[in-house]
Structure 1
Amino acid sequence: MVQKQEFLQLIDKYLTGQTTAAEKEQLLNFFESFQGDADEWDETVLGVKQELEDRMLGNIRQAIAEPVSNKSPKVVGLHFFRNVAAAVILLAVSGTAVYHWYHKHDQQQLTAQNKAVVKHDVDPGDNRAILTLANGTKLILDSAKIGLLSQTGNISVNKISDGQVVYSADKDQQNGPVAYNSISTPVGGQYQVVLPDGSKVWLNSASSLKFPTAFTGNEREVELTGEGYFEVARNKAKPFNVKVKDINVSVLGTHFNIMAYNDEAAVKTTLLEGLVRLTHGNVSGTLKPGQQGVINDKGIKIIDVDTDEAVAWKNGFFDFERVNIQDIMKQLSRWYGTEVIYEGKIPDDEFVGKIRRDVKLSQVLHILELSHVRFRIENKKIIVTP
């Protein structure tokens, strides 16, 4: 066992980035030895355990964020906290799913390509959506050709690339009845739409957006289900409102993400730029950049967050910030179109780090399995076992 003085020296070396692989494993094993013996941790000698863990976690986040050479694998991390404690695994993932890991092993390299073929593997999601026009016509966007999709009066809809549609309308169009379109993504789909005012919306899987084909009147209003990232075109004369269930998100011009799936306990609005006002019943709150509004039946709670985690899906990643296995499985289920079944005790461990969203399901599960969780895939079902 590492002696206390030696442990303190290892902590200093770790926080300054000077530990070797062997010393890092020694340090993490020492942390893990205290998981069931919290009373044995002497804070007068070793310091406050939670503070040390938070400092170590900060180093991990910094390492993940550091840019790497294009000649090297794209390095991202998945770090495992047993009962919110020691990081016992360090992983790196490249576009071809190459993993580096530590924990009771020498440093080694594993490639998912060397694994046996998974019988019931699942491909990742892709750009898929259905556009429903005001007359009820449904256009399958993933199979539609690039070019003009619809023309109604002065309003045109064009598919300009795989994964993006753009609405164009006369800016002076103020009269006539308001017509509504909607775009919806299935489980395992995502899509981007540019609205008539130039605002951009990215939809995550199992989501939908209802919007007018031209913004008339004094406000711009859309309705969202699921999850969407918004870059709103600035227009002081016309506030932009997003209706989410019984919640209103009001902005002038800003970048924000709304996560409002029905199987989540709260609606979360995360602000990257600008200013956002949240209204839920008689309660309201204002977000500043770097803040998240968490809304549930208890009201509105505003917290400081890492905004990268909230929009990682838009940038092609799963980003876990001390997330439990149930929440991870929700994300995987939506993106890979799978059902999740738990057998036995559900692990209460938490995870920190990133995994690319463009790899097969078996590769993601393989990373998680290195953290003492077991899975098998059967007919698009993920079975989680102790």
Structure 2
Amino acid sequence: MEKEELYFLVKHYRDNTISDQDLKKLKDYLRSDSSDALLDLVMFELAEKNPLEYEGKEGNDHLFGSIQGKLNAQNQKKLLDRVTTLNFIRTVAALFALVGSAFLFSKSNWVKELPNDSYTISQDWSKIAPGKSKAKIVLENGQEIDLEDLPNNKTLQMDGYSLVKNDQGEISYFIDGESNIRTDLYNTIIVPKGGEYKLNLPDGSQVWLNAASNLKYPINFGKESRKVELTGEAYFHVVKKLAGARKLPFIVLSGEQELEVLGTQFNLNTFSNKIKTTLVEGAVQLRFSGGKQQQLLPNQQAVFNPSSEKLEVENVNTYYSMAWKEGAFAFDNAPLEDVLGSLSRWYNVSFDYNINKKSPHFTGSISRYDSIEKLLELIEITNSVKFEIKGRRIMVSG
């Protein structure tokens, strides 16, 4: 194959504009013995002439996804630097989103053993849709309010306060000026699998809740502290509040960890039997049983294992922790179980494993609003695992 033709095929594959006929031609070439050197050159030239840019548009349907993005909302930096060397691994990582370790460290095997054109997962996936904004609120009296059914611009008048769903579908609380609501009256927002929701707390703090997450909070925080309880994952943007001249602390309880906010934005994840706190802005103080304490600085992440009581703190790229809030899956050398765990919660499916080899790891980012079939095809193309659907259960073999 001539270099110009291969360049054309790879570019259109990258841009998700490749035809079925050209896709077959590209796969046949990748299986050939002569593919390596020319493919290296084409990928390098493509990365140099057409560097990947993060578009951040909902519904972006690039086949390869994107592993670039903003570092955080403050500086809008690129997630990864422009590819400028002929290093094959980095070039491939820039072109394909969810690349497994089996792919990264064994390209020659991958190109010779691509799955057939009829993938294992080319079945009927139409009933499995991406998640969307949905949740319910359980009031202090046990009454449940389905927020998905509640119309936008709707106000529910309660005893001493009102609950408002604005035109963006967000929930806010307003306490009546002369009411004296007890501080031990709580609401709980429950976000199911396949859901996400943004909540404005009674103090004005904002919380984005990921799928399969709950947050319990008082209607009236009072004048001692602002204390909430989280199960699952949420991103917090906490506002400063005063009680007279004293700062009113904001505290998040999550299992064995107590987090005190010192004015901040952070992500808190309690999935995978660990408590993972990632600080984006400000500072937080973590407290654990036995008197152990840890203060985090921006771009630091604390991972606490309740079973071993082990605490690890490291500097991180916060994008990977907050990408879900921006509408993307993002993984940094994540094991297959963590990747599929995120898909399970978002698409409301379950995975059954029958794998006898070491779990592959994945690095990359792709829209959360792509079909699950497409995401699993990206994983399958690493030739590390295969998937088979049975209702809302997905068999994983390899």
TM-score of the superposed pair, with normalisation by structure 2 = 0.70
d(CA) in 2 for partners of 1:280, 1:64: 43
d(CA) in 2 for partners of 1:280, 1:154: 36
Bigger RCO of structures 1 and 2 (CA < 8 A, at least 6 apart)? 2
Residue 179, structure 1, aligned to residue 185, structure 2: yes
Find the residue that maps to 1:309 and give its secondary structure. helix
Q: Which residue of 2 aligns with 1:96?
A: none
Q: Which residue of 2 aligns with 1:275?
A: 283
Q: Which residue of 2 aligns with 1:304?
A: 315
Which amino acid in structure 1 is aligned with residue 359 of structure 2? D
| Correspondence for 2:299 among 265, 272, 290 | 290
d(CA) in 2 for partners of 1:155, 1:375: 49
Give the CA deviation at 1:175: 6.3
Residue 104, structure 1, aligned to residue 93, structure 2: no
**Mean alpha-carbon deviation: is it higher for 203-212 or for 234-243?**
234-243
- Seen in structure 2, the aligned counterparts of structure 1 residues 241 and 172 have a Cα distance that, compared at 3 Å, is farther
- Seen in structure 2, the aligned counterparts of structure 1 residues 206 and 369 have a Cα distance that, compared at 3 Å, is same
| Correspondence for 2:262 among 238, 241, 252 | 252
d(CA) in 2 for partners of 1:204, 1:68: 19
Which amino acid in structure 1 is aligned with residue 374 of structure 2? Q
Give the CA deviation at 1:122: 1.1
Where structure 1 has 5 or more consecutive residues not aligned to the other structure, the ranges are 1-20, 28-55, 80-84, 94-101
| Correspondence for 1:200 among 181, 191, 206 | 206
Give the CA deviation at 1:145: 1.1
- Seen in structure 2, the aligned counterparts of structure 1 residues 130 and 64 have a Cα distance that, compared at 3 Å, is farther
Where structure 2 has 5 or more consecutive residues not aligned to the other structure, the ranges are 1-34, 69-87, 98-106
Question: Over residues 260-310 of structure 1, what are the superposed CA-to-partner deviations in whole Å (9 max), with x where a residue is unaligned?
Answer: 12xx13100000000000001110100000001111133322111110000
Q: Tell me if structure 2 keeps the 8 A contact 1:329–1:340.
A: yes
- Seen in structure 2, the aligned counterparts of structure 1 residues 311 and 141 have a Cα distance that, compared at 3 Å, is same
Residue 377, structure 1, aligned to residue 385, structure 2: no
Alignment of 1:124-139 (within 5 A): 124-139=130-145
Give the CA deviation at 1:327: 1.0
Question: Over residues 163-189 of structure 1, what are the superposed CA-to-partner deviations in whole Å (9 max), with x where a residue is unaligned?
Answer: 421112257866645321110011111
Residue 215, structure 1, aligned to residue 215, structure 2: no
d(CA) in 1 for partners of 2:282, 2:207: 16
| Correspondence for 1:361 among 349, 352, 372 | 372
Find the residue that maps to 1:311 and give its secondary structure. helix
- Seen in structure 2, the aligned counterparts of structure 1 residues 175 and 348 have a Cα distance that, compared at 3 Å, is closer
Q: Could you say what the CA RMSD is over the residues aligned between the two structures, in angstroms?
A: 3.5
**Mean alpha-carbon deviation: is it higher for 152-161 or for 359-368?**
152-161
Alignment of 1:1-386 (within 5 A): 25-26=39-40, 76-77=65-66, 86=89, 91=95, 104=111, 118=124, 121-161=127-167, 163-169=169-175, 176-235=182-241, 237-261=247-271, 264-281=272-289, 282-296=291-305, 297-372=308-383, 373-386=385-398
TM-score of the superposed pair, with normalisation by structure 1 = 0.72
Q: Which residue of 2 aligns with 1:32?
A: none
Identity among equivalent positions (%) equals: 31
Q: Tell me if structure 2 keeps the 8 A contact 1:338–1:382.
A: yes
d(CA) in 2 for partners of 1:348, 1:26: 27
Which amino acid in structure 2 is aligned with residue 104 of structure 1? V
**Mean alpha-carbon deviation: is it higher for 174-183 or for 222-231?**
174-183
Give the CA deviation at 1:323: 0.8
